[in-house]
Structure 1
Amino acid sequence: MPQPPSASQPSAEIGVIGGSGFYSFLDDVHEVEVDTPFGRPSDTLTIGELAGRRVAFVPRHGRDHRYPPHKIPYRANLWALRSLGVRQIVAPSAVGSLTPDHGPGTLAVPNQLVDRTSGRAQTFYDEGGAVHLSFADPYCPIGRQVAVSTARRAGWPPVDGGTLVVIEGPRFSTRAESQWYAAQGWTLIGMTGHPEAVLARELALCYIPVCLVTDLDAGIEEGEGVTMEEVFRVFAENIGRLRPLVADMIKSLPTDRACPCPHSLDGMKLPLDLP
């Protein structure tokens, strides 16, 4: 099995992939440059302390939001986190809603994923033989339980379950697309939840989505449709609640993983050595 980081290398046990609003929730922080076989991560990683846990943070789009969703170096981000010792990842993101029941400000912890992207690199195992992993349940079950129970205790009852459909972006959906997604029974729509989740599974990591609804998608209500300004505004209005919620989640995550995630690579002949 892969070895943990050496004593001289900075390390962390939990990773957070999110926006710039999460820099300030860590104590005693320092920055770490990480190179990977898949290029550089979105930005310099920040490692710090939170309630006695070592946490590594990577800004998904870069600090200056320079990477659009289809250009994010997903493989480098996940590889870099694992190389620092991370084994559990909390992934907050802004999403749209495909049902009027989940309006802006709703917190959701989906349990299913549909990929509607195109052209994104979504595996580490491009050469040397196929690696077929189970992905029937894309998210860590214990991590999801922690997210749901933590949100309930915080007085922000989440939507427990549902399907996140991930589109290519960077454009938003047409009304027809939005209505078609909703007709399939899918409940949330975003641009970054894939391939993050599948890449985490390929590294035997726990991946825990925490979705903040910022808008109703174009086909769900009348009006001009989704705008970037609206998404940023609603996210900014809720970051003060989301940041401490993620911090409480991190405190509550188990130190020993009893979920299936650590065993996702058991029995596999991998064509490359993992960090």
Structure 2
Amino acid sequence: MAKATLGIIGGSGLYDLPGLEDMRELDIGSPWGMPSAPPREGRVGNARVVFLPRHGVGHRHSPSDIDYRANIDVLKRVGVTDLISLSACGSYREELPPGMFVLVDQFIDRTFRRQSSFFGAGCVAHVPFSDPVAPNLVARLARAAAAERVPHVVGGSYVCMEGPQFSTRAESVAYKAMGASVVGMTNMPEAKLAREAEICYATVAMVTDYDAWRPHEGGAEIASILDVMRGNGDAAGRLVARLAQDFPEEHEPCPIGSDRALDFALLTAPAHRDPTLVAKLDAVAGRVL
């Protein structure tokens, strides 16, 4: 079994990880581009943890401009086996108020400007993605949230919109009618790329507002969202600390095969693979290449 390394991607308002001890910044590059920031390695309790602020230090990158491939690639290169995405989001449900943490289990991808795969012409692969989050990670997050008395629910669908503008009222009403739970701008293609890299992935969608579907109310407003973010950030720090405290030293095999997603995914015959692309896939797909 592989040694477990817990990766944390911090979303809006989360540019540092409280409690990260013996921290050092890793000088590591990616053939896919520049990550949002150099990953920071340290320990939380006995767990090895690698933290990466999704938007960069000082929130430099908009959702559409993040190099998601570079972020996932560098996390794979430094040994991350299990990845938690902390993400601010809007809610489509009255029972999911600001301050609620939603451990989503499905995604609806409405992005259109982003590179969503490591593979392509010269090395084609199709990974299974019907169940996009790792159930072991969700179960551990739920136990940690309960122990820290962080309001949370397990399950729900996350709509990932392109942004950077917030939703129109018509969009908000439509996605609510579809049965979605929350809306955000960053978990796609992040979750897809994590699956291609055989990293177990789970999302903590931290509700900041009710988006724009409620009648006779304004939509998402950044001032009020920032106020909620501060409280959510404190709760997220406690959640991660508790999660790391109980995290196993050895990586647990994923019951849905997140960590073996490439076993049968590569379709391009070895003799026809593009050597330039194959070289870029050394970290992501080295196990099967």
Do the structures match in fold with TM over 0.5? Answer: yes
SS at match of 1:193: coil
| Conservation of the 8 A alpha-carbon contact between 1:114 and 1:165 | yes
- Work out whether 1:267 is the aligned partner of 2:264: yes
Q: 2:209 aligns with which of 201, 212, 215?
A: 215
- Work out whether 1:27 is the aligned partner of 2:21: yes
Matches of 1:38 and 1:256 in 2, distance apart? 26
| Conservation of the 8 A alpha-carbon contact between 2:15 and 2:53 | no
Q: Report the residue type matching 2:142 in the other structure.
A: V
Backbone CA RMSD of aligned residues? 1.8
| Residues 127 and 247 of structure 1, relative CA distance in 2, 3 Å threshold | farther
Structure 2: gaps (5+ residues): 284-289
Matches of 1:12 and 1:43 in 2, distance apart? 22
Q: Report the residue type matching 2:239 in the other structure.
A: L
- Work out whether 1:242 is the aligned partner of 2:236: yes
SS at match of 2:64: helix
Q: Give, in angstroms, the shift of residue 203 of structure 1.
A: 0.4
Over residues 17-37 of structure 1, what are the superposed CA-to-partner deviations in whole Å (9 max), with x where a residue is unaligned? 004453332001111122111
Matches of 1:221 and 1:105 in 2, distance apart? 21
Q: Report the residue type matching 1:94 in the other structure.
A: A
- The equivalences for 1:99-114 within 5 A come to 99-114=93-108
Matches of 1:25 and 1:162 in 2, distance apart? 29
- Work out whether 1:170 is the aligned partner of 2:161: no
Paired residues in the alignment total: 266
Over residues 135-175 of structure 1, what are the superposed CA-to-partner deviations in whole Å (9 max), with x where a residue is unaligned? 00000111111111211122224111010000000000000
Q: 1:179 aligns with which of 149, 159, 173?
A: 173
Over residues 71-121 of structure 1, what are the superposed CA-to-partner deviations in whole Å (9 max), with x where a residue is unaligned? 111100000000001111011111100111211111110111100111210
Matches of 1:158 and 1:78 in 2, distance apart? 26
> Aligned residue for 1:118?
112
- The equivalences for 1:38-187 within 5 A come to 38-187=32-181
Identity of aligned residues (%): 36
| Residues 190 and 146 of structure 1, relative CA distance in 2, 3 Å threshold | same
Q: Give, in angstroms, the shift of residue 261 of structure 1.
A: 1.4
Matches of 1:203 and 1:140 in 2, distance apart? 13
Q: Give, in angstroms, the shift of residue 224 of structure 1.
A: 2.2
Matches of 2:142 and 2:31 in 1, distance apart? 35
> Aligned residue for 1:15?
7
> Aligned residue for 2:253?
258
Q: Give, in angstroms, the shift of residue 231 of structure 1.
A: 1.8
| Conservation of the 8 A alpha-carbon contact between 1:34 and 1:41 | no
TM-score w.r.t. the length of structure 1 is 0.92
Q: Report the residue type matching 1:155 in the other structure.
A: R
Matches of 1:178 and 1:246 in 2, distance apart? 30
Q: Report the residue type matching 1:159 in the other structure.
A: V
> Aligned residue for 1:8?
none
Q: Give, in angstroms, the shift of residue 126 of structure 1.
A: 2.2
Q: Give, in angstroms, the shift of residue 221 of structure 1.
A: 4.5
TM-score w.r.t. the length of structure 2 is 0.87
| Conservation of the 8 A alpha-carbon contact between 2:99 and 2:151 | no
| Conservation of the 8 A alpha-carbon contact between 1:203 and 1:274 | no
Matches of 2:151 and 2:93 in 1, distance apart? 17
Matches of 2:259 and 2:101 in 1, distance apart? 27
Q: Report the residue type matching 1:265 in the other structure.
A: L
Single out whichever of 188-197 and 144-153 deviates more from structure 2: 144-153
Matches of 2:225 and 2:146 in 1, distance apart? 24
